[in-house]
Amino acid sequence: MQGTLVDMNSPNRLIILCLLDYYLPGFKSGGPLRSILNLVDQLGDELDFFIITRDRDANDAESYPAICVNEWNVVGRSQVFYATPDQIDLYSIARLIRNTPHDVLYLNSFFSLSFSIQPLIARKLGLLPIKPCILAPRGEFSKGALELKRTKKAIFMSAASSIGLHNSITWQASSAMERDQIRLNIGSIAKQIVIAPDLPSDSSLPLYGALKPSERHHQGMLRLVFISRISAMKNLDFLLKILFNVSSPTSLDIFGPIEDPFYLHKCNKLIGLLPEHIKVSFMSAVNHSDVAATFGRYDLFAFPTRGENFGHVIIESLAAGTPVLVSDQTPWRGNEELALQEISLLNPDAWAAAIDQWANLDASSMFQRRAAAMAYANRVLHDKNTTNKNLNLFLDSINSERMARAA
């Protein structure tokens, strides 16, 4: 069953049809959901967004409560179709795309079977109207990401290349780093790559008045926090191994949905072996509305991720006044004020040394770095050039399609 579209769109605005695995009210899947939500929030006055997604959050067995499944729902400034599992096969997805008026088809994964591979197969088979198509791989071509399920991914990439599955599409890279990753792995097929950085959330704007000098580390301990999915990609086990070489009293609170129970077991085994001056606690997953307040309770966000195309959680930490220690596998780079430090994953000793250095800061130095974190976030959040690049991503794709037809 296909629901009826609500007449929200303006005849003068372009319609962007987004496909992604998870959207609101979900919160367990991380980056792509935040990217599309921020895009809708900030470009909703100029573009109309229709979103096709699953009817449930990651690893959930039941549909979201209070939604209409297999129908269009008004969600904020967009319309969302929540498809049940029996409605995400090739022909059902093709029919839904075909019956939804749109100017641009916007795919938000390279490896998603239901919401990227199947639509592209349908496009190849002529089951979809000829429309500009933009694909944002959302960090899936980072070295760390490709190492996970490497053989399966390599087989698909080879097969997709042989049949020209990704011919004649526009690729969105969120940074020069991701552009280079796309070129390295896709080669000459990726003829058009546009850098349009992910939009951070307006709700992340720093609250300078809320920042006050805090006491020396709680009970004499450095308060570390890790907020992300519990998965190999986010590299929590690396952080736990680092803590074996940290000499200062340190606590680590871990927040995030459990994506891989086997990986969780691996991390728990490491925690059980840590020395007594290192305290680690698993907390529950944190809803996005509580992320800023959660970050604000800690001294440092330690994030040794294997790869991020943007890293919404990084800007959220900075905006909350919590400095970040991050791997070199993201677009983020450190600054002189040390609001953010990026350290190679090939140098675990440097990670341990950095944590010990943070643990020995006095309250005044800690406050200065917290203020620097907010200032860093403020510069990023007020960069209007990022908004314009995202708008032009869609406008230029349509103009290119029209020029190609005219030729």
**For residue 25, cis peptide bond before it (omega within 30 degrees of 0):** yes
98-109: pLDDT as tens digits: 999 999 999 999
Q: What is the pLDDT of residues 152-211, one digit of tens each?
A: 999 999 999 999 999 999 999 999 999 999 999 999 999 999 999 999 887 666 665 566
| Cβ-contact 252, 280 below 8 angstroms | yes
Q: Is the pLDDT of residue 214 over 80?
A: no
CB 256 within 8 A of CB 227: yes
The reported pLDDT for the residue numbered 1 is: 37
pLDDT of residue 156: 97
How many residues are given for the chain? 407
Beta partners for 193?
Answer: 171
Show the beta-strand stretches assigned E in 198-241.
222-227
Task: pLDDT band for 290, please (50, 70, 90 cuts).
Answer: confident
The per-residue pLDDT for 71 is 97
**pLDDT at res. 216:** 46
Q: What are phi and psi of 88, to 5 degrees?
A: -120, 25
Residue 8 pLDDT grade (very low, low, confident, very high; cuts 50, 70, 90)? low
pLDDT at 207: 60
Q: Per-residue pLDDT tens for 43-91? A: 999 999 999 999 999 989 999 999 999 999 999 999 999 999 999 999 9
| Distance between start and end Cα atoms, the chain | 39
Residue 210 contacts residue 284 (beta carbons within 8 Å): no
- State how far the Cα of 151 lies from the Cα of 73, in Å rounded to an integer: 38
- 291 in Cβ contact with 318 (< 8 Å): no
* Alpha-helical runs (H) found in 254-347: 261-271, 291-295, 312-319
User: Residue 19: enclosing H or E segment and its boundaries?
Assistant: strand 14-19
d(CA 35, CA 329): 19
Looking at the chain, the whole-number percentage of residues with pLDDT higher than 70 is 91
Predicted confidence (pLDDT) at residue 283 exceeds the cutoff of 90: yes
Q: Which two tokens stand for residue 5?
A: 């579209």
pLDDT band at 285 (very low <50, low <70, confident <90, very high): confident
What integer pLDDT is reported at residue 2 of this predicted model? 45
Provide the percentage of residues in the chain whose pLDDT is more than 90: 78
Helices 236-243/348-359 angle, 10° precision: 70
* Domains of the chain, each with CATH number or no CATH: 14-198+383-406 (3.40.50.2000), 202-381 (3.40.50.2000)
3-state secondary structure of 370: helix
User: What beta strand segments (E) does 230-318 contain?
Assistant: 250-255, 278-282, 300-303
* pLDDT of 131: 95
> CA angle, corner 393, sides to 388 and 399, nearest 5?
115
* Interacting residues of 96 by C-beta distance below 8 A, sequence separation 6+: 2, 52, 81, 83, 87
The pLDDT assigned to 224 comes to 98
* 295: pLDDT strictly greater than 60: yes
Query: What confidence score (pLDDT) does residue 219 get?
Result: 58
Q: Mean pLDDT, to the nearest integer, of 25-34?
A: 86
Instruction: Give the pLDDT band of residue 288 (cuts 50, 70, 90).
Output: confident
**Burial of 293 per CB tally in 10 Å (0-12, 13-18, 19+):** exposed
**pLDDT tens digits along 229-244:** 999 999 999 999 999 9
Round the average pLDDT of the chain to a whole number and report it.
Answer: 91
Phi/psi of residue 268, nearest 5 degrees: -65, -35
What local confidence, expressed as pLDDT, does residue 111 receive? 97
Q: Report H helices in 125-209.
A: 143-147, 150-163, 176-186
